[in-house]
Amino acid sequence: MDKPVNHGSWLFRIFPAFFLASIALAQPTPPQQIQACDNPGDDGNAILITWEQIEAPDLTGYEIFRQAQADTWTRVSFHGPVAHKFTDDEVTDGVKYRYKLIAVYPGANVESEPTNWVTSSPQWFNPSTLGALIATIVFTALLFLFTARARRGAKLFIRRISGLDAVEEALGRATEMGRPVLYVPGLSTIDDIATIASMNILGEVAKKTAKFGTQLIVPTADPIVYTVAQETVKESYTTAGRADAFNPGSVYFLTNEQFAYAAGVDGIMAREKPGTNFFIGMFWAESLILAETGATTGAIQIAGTDAIAQLPFFITACDYTLIGEELYAASAYLSREPLLLGAIKSQDYGKLLIVILLVVSTILALGANIPVQDIF
């Protein structure tokens, strides 16, 4: 008779092995691969600590301790279980430090081995800004190249802008009709880029009004803008050889209240009946009030702003509108000054390089997962 098989004995033999293995897996794991080094690319007084993240569901986090030479261990920070680096910015350059980590578990804390001694020091260059440095060098080289070409008389192409081509025609029309030219530089302050661009355009308009002998009216909404605008017009008249024709009263401060300013400018348009209106600068809700009133007087109107919300009103009520970057390029377009032309062309080629880099980078990124033949 065969001996019966005792299946339970197999379970008692296998169970202790699984039990011991589970106990081994449940043992808290100390932090590994602890490294400390001088934080790269900074101005000093910082040390970077990195470690290998522990894959344990019951890990609470990491306690970080620091020790200076001839000093005791000091707790400097606590990080959660997903952390794997820490920058200690409370150190002194030239002093040696070392670090250790304690992995915190619900039932126990496990300490790592201390790192080597390390010191912090400042660096003269941050490697993470290398791309910006290269871009700056390329753009500067383009700026010098195109400025030199413009000074040698090379004809640099700038896309035709209808609103700027019409400036001389509009000023000539006002001169023929014996009416003044109204220039509104917006309601913003002088630190607004649109106002700065407006002052550049005002200078070119003033040169032409001085040349044609046309009256120029410039009401402003900011005291600083008033001062800058007056000096700009005065310099333009001097450059045009008509310094005696400059009237200081043609540029004046109206008010800094939004709708009071709009009402004042509307009154000027209603009384003086200017032949040409310029609305160049930063505008808000008053844009349609100004442009609509100017349209009822029959004046040629040229507007320009980078305020996206106001562009539809200017496009509707004005004859010509400078949109966005056209406003910034206007002074170079009108004056053909070599430095301004060189800046415009270098910006254009800089943007072209950025677009090429974006396209190439996108293709390379897609090519990592998609065959090239599928991209094209």
Q: The domain that contains 49 carries what CATH number?
A: 2.60.40.10
Q: Same domain, yes or no, for 100 and 208? A: no
pTM of the shown model: 0.69
Q: Is residue 346 part of a domain?
A: no
Q: Strand 47-52 and strand 32-38: pairing? A: antiparallel
Q: Same domain, yes or no, for 196 and 286? A: yes
Last residue of a domain, one of 321, 336, 351: 336
Dihedral-angle region of residue 294 (phi above 0 means left; psi in -120 to 50 means alpha; beta otherwise): alpha
Q: What per-residue confidence (pLDDT) applies to 1?
A: 46
Number of domains composing the chain: 2
Q: Same domain, yes or no, for 83 and 166? A: no
Q: Same domain, yes or no, for 164 and 302? A: yes
Whether 53 and 34 have beta carbons less than 8 Å apart is answered as no
Q: Is residue 60 part of a domain?
A: yes
Last residue of a domain, one of 336, 356, 371: 336
Q: Same domain, yes or no, for 305 and 190? A: yes
- Non-local (6+) Cβ contacts of 208 within 8 A are 167, 168, 171, 214
DSSP E strand boundaries for the chain: 32-38, 47-52, 61-68, 74-79, 85-88, 97-104, 109-111, 181-186, 216-220, 251-253, 276-282, 300-305, 320-323
Q: Is residue 316 part of a domain?
A: yes
Q: Same domain, yes or no, for 99 and 160? A: no
Q: Same domain, yes or no, for 166 and 40? A: no
Say how far residue 27 (Cα) sits from the centre of its chain: 51
The torsion angles phi and psi of 108, rounded to 5 degrees, stand at -160, 160
Last residue of a domain, one of 111, 129, 146: 111
CA atoms within 13 A of residue 57's CA, in its CB half-sphere: 2
Q: Where are the alpha helices (DSSP H) in 38-182?
A: 130-151, 162-177
Q: What per-residue confidence (pLDDT) applies to 376?
A: 46
Q: Same domain, yes or no, for 105 and 208? A: no
Q: What per-residue confidence (pLDDT) applies to 16?
A: 52
As a whole number of angstroms, the distance between CA 357 and CA 48 comes to 32
Quick: pLDDT tens for 193-224.
Answer: 999 999 999 999 999 999 999 999 999 999 99
Q: Is residue 374 part of a domain?
A: no
Q: Which of the residues in the chain have pLDDT under 70?
A: 1-26, 368-376
Q: Is residue 4 part of a domain?
A: no
Q: Same domain, yes or no, for 286 and 180? A: yes
Q: Same domain, yes or no, for 208 and 304? A: yes
By the 10 Å C-beta count (0-12 exposed, 13-18 middle, 19+ buried), 94 is classed as exposed
Q: Is residue 370 part of a domain?
A: no
Q: Same domain, yes or no, for 167 and 257? A: yes
Q: What per-residue confidence (pLDDT) applies to 372?
A: 45
Q: Is residue 146 part of a domain?
A: no
Distances (CA, A) of 273 to 180, 187, 212, 295, 298: 8, 22, 18, 11, 8
Nearest alpha-carbon partner for 206 in 240, 164, 179: 240
Q: Same domain, yes or no, for 189 and 318? A: yes
Q: Is residue 121 part of a domain?
A: no
Read off the CATH number of the domain in which 162 is found.
Answer: 3.40.50.1220
Range of the domain at 241: 156-336
Indicate the SS3 state at residue 18: helix
